[in-house]
């Protein structure tokens, strides 16, 4: 795993020339901002400092986000990674993730596992309260787990993974005995699912959890408010109130930071970071823990032809994307697992389609296109959510690269809600640039989504997460083998075979795990990175 950093300014100047129309707030904000050294500039700076000081004194922060949360805030049905990123602070499971990605006790204080791996006994922690003041009891825990197991609309990777649970029984007032029909090496990650009150039916609009922050309210397309939960069982949060401001225009997030309206914004591109005054912000860097790719609809022509998909893999210069759109920052990948997931990440796949030079890759792409019946290339559409500047920037570079092999790629920039309903759920697209995360943090959650079971409709008309319509019998067989393998080393080997299958058959054009650049206003500290797509606001504090 290597971090690619470009030492030079050529790519920066080329980015400014090439990438237009998405996330390029530099010219707008520069024109609108008062000139340095003028009276207007001094007044603007004073206003920014005053707003920041007032929030610090009130022990509040405002965070900018690029998309509104899902219409339903019920954690068991959340779809968007951005929703889970925020609500990570509101909900907890029997266990939760620490900054290393390990599961640690949460609502349960301890767990005992039988020698055969079939019986788990969880002891509930004393004094855990829901945000409405009620104590958490065994009925709440059983309800939450059973709900996620039984309802097919729940995250499919969680629901199917819980099918091994044979029974949930009480042992006294504070012990839950969970009996499995077969061992499950990924069970603890699945049990990060949110524990909810059993007798509460308003989770979609007024969610209640046990986390360090409680939900206060939202204004659609504008803001979401959280407040520190005074009765939290664990280490209390530092900041009293957190407001998330929604701005789907990338330049709006930068202007919000510069004006003093925002204190923190995650997932910025290097170009956006370059626009900020570094005297006012610290730029923290981690990884987004996602798989960014040019995802191809394997049922839509011409991408129903494997040779065409392979041609795109050769034609797209991934290092060129990093250099042009991200100033060299990012981690190249070759399949649907990100590098921080070290146990399952197969680095040997990273350069599977990389030849001696980008030019050699393009020549190979032309050969494959001719073999597939497209000697003169073809037209295609890349649908991309307009509120995510990094994905827009990536798509722009890809479109330029594909021209060199005769493929005319047109970008279709859509609102986030449209992308979710039409592209992801409706599967009305040829290609799209997006990042997929792991929820829960298991190899199964990253790989099961491309099985046939997740592609076709079930008896009730529901379809799973296989939005690219990947269809490969060998892949399905490997998955069935993986979930029935209880030896951890052998199971890991099979999951890596699944990764290789996706790569060999060019299910999509895998690009990178993106560097996560976070602008944090000076005076605010405590940012903690996790190997999953979350933002833990409980550790933030004003100095």
User: Helix 389-403 vs helix 318-326: angle between axes, to the nearest 10 degrees?
Assistant: 130
Q: In angstroms, how far is the first alpha carbon of the chain from the final one?
A: 35
**What is the per-residue pLDDT for 205?**
96
Q: How many residues does the chain have?
A: 543
Task: For residue 359, give every residue at least 6 positions away whose Cβ sits within 8 Å of its Cβ, in sequence order, or none.
Answer: none
Residue 435 has pLDDT above 50, yes or no: yes
**What is the per-residue pLDDT for 28?**
31
Distance CA 298, CA 294 (A): 12
Position 48 confidence tier, pLDDT thresholds 50, 70, 90: low
Position 440 confidence tier, pLDDT thresholds 50, 70, 90: confident
Strands 119-124 and 175-180: antiparallel
**Residue with token string 């409980």:** 538
Position 19 confidence tier, pLDDT thresholds 50, 70, 90: very low
Distance CA 429, CA 414 (A): 12
When mean pLDDT is compared across 4-18, 144-158, 291-305, the lowest value belongs to: 4-18
Position 255 confidence tier, pLDDT thresholds 50, 70, 90: very high
Burial class (CB within 10 angstroms; exposed 0-12, middle 13-18, buried 19+) of 301: exposed
Please name each of the domains of the chain with its CATH number.
23-88+211-286+516-543 (3.40.190.10), 91-190 (3.90.76.10), 291-513 (3.10.105.10)
Cis peptide bond prior to 341, omega within 30° of 0: no
Residue 7 has pLDDT above 70, yes or no: no
pTM over 0.75: yes
Digit-coded pLDDT (tens) for 300-318 = 999 999 999 999 999 999 9
**What is the per-residue pLDDT for 17?**
26
Digit-coded pLDDT (tens) for 365-412 = 999 999 999 999 999 999 999 988 889 999 999 999 999 999 999 999
């Amino acid at each position: 795993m290597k971090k690619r950093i470009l030492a030079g300014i050529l790519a920066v100047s080329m980015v400014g020339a090439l990438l237009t129309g998405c996330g390029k707030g530099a010219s707008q904000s520069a024109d609108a901002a008062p000139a340095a050294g003028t009276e207007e500039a001094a007044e603007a700076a004073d206003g920014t400092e005053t707003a920041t000081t007032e929030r610090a004194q009130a022990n509040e922060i405002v965070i900018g986000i690029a998309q509104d949360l899902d219409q339903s805030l019920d954690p068991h049905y959340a779809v968007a990674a951005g929703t889970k990123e925020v609500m990570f602070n509101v909900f907890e499971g029997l266990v939760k993730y620490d900054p290393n990605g390990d599961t640690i006790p949460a609502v349960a204080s301890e767990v005992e596992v039988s020698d055969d791996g079939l019986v788990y006994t969880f002891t509930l922690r004393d004094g855990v309260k829901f945000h409405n003041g009620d104590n958490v009891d065994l009925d709440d825990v059983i309800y939450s787990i059973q709900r996620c197991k039984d309802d097919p609309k729940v995250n499919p990777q969680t629901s199917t993974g819980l099918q091994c649970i044979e029974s949930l029984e009480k042992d006294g007032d504070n012990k839950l005995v969970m009996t499995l029909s077969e061992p499950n090496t990924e069970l603890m990650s699945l049990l990060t699912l949110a524990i909810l009150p059993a007798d509460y039916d308003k989770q979609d609009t007024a969610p209640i959890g046990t986390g360090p922050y409680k939900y206060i309210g939202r204004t659609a397309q504008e803001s979401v408010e959280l407040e520190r939960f005074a009765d939290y069982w664990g280490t209390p949060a530092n900041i009293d109130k957190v407001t998330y401001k929604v701005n789907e225009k990338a330049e709006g997030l930068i202007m919000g930071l510069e004006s003093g309206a925002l204190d923190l914004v995650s997932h910025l591109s290097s170009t956006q970071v370059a626009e900020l005054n570094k005297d006012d912000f610290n730029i923290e860097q981690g990884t987004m823990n996602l798989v960014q790719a040019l995802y191809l609809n394997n049922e839509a022509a011409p991408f129903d032809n494997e040779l065409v998909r392979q041609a795109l893999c050769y034609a797209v210069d991934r290092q060129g994307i990093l250099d042009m759109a991200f100033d060299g920052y990012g981690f190249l990948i070759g399949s649907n697992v990100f590098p921080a997931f070290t146990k399952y990440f197969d680095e040997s796949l990273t350069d599977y389609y990389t030849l001696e030079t980008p030019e050699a890759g393009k020549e190979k792409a032309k050969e494959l296109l001719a073999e597939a019946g497209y000697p003169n290339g073809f037209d295609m559409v890349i649908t991309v959510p307009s509120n995510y500047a990094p994905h827009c920037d990536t798509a722009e570079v890809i479109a330029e690269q594909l021209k060199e092999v005769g493929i005319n790629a047109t970008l279709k920039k859509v609102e986030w809600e449209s992308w979710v309903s039409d592209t992801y759920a409706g599967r009305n697209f040829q290609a799209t640039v997006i990042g997929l995360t792991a929820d829960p943090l298991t190899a199964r959650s990253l790989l099961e989504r491309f099985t046939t079971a997740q592609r076709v409709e079930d008896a009730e008309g529901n379809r799973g997460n296989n939005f690219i319509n990947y269809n490969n019998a060998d892949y399905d067989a490997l998955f069935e083998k993986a979930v029935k393998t209880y030896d951890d080393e052998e199971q890991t080997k099979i999951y890596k075979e699944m990764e290789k299958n996706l790569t060999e058959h060019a299910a999509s054009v895998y690009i990178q795990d993106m560097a996560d650049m976070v602008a944090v206003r000076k005076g605010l500290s405590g940012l903690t990175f996790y190997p999953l797509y979350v933002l833990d606001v409980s550790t933030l504090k004003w100095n």
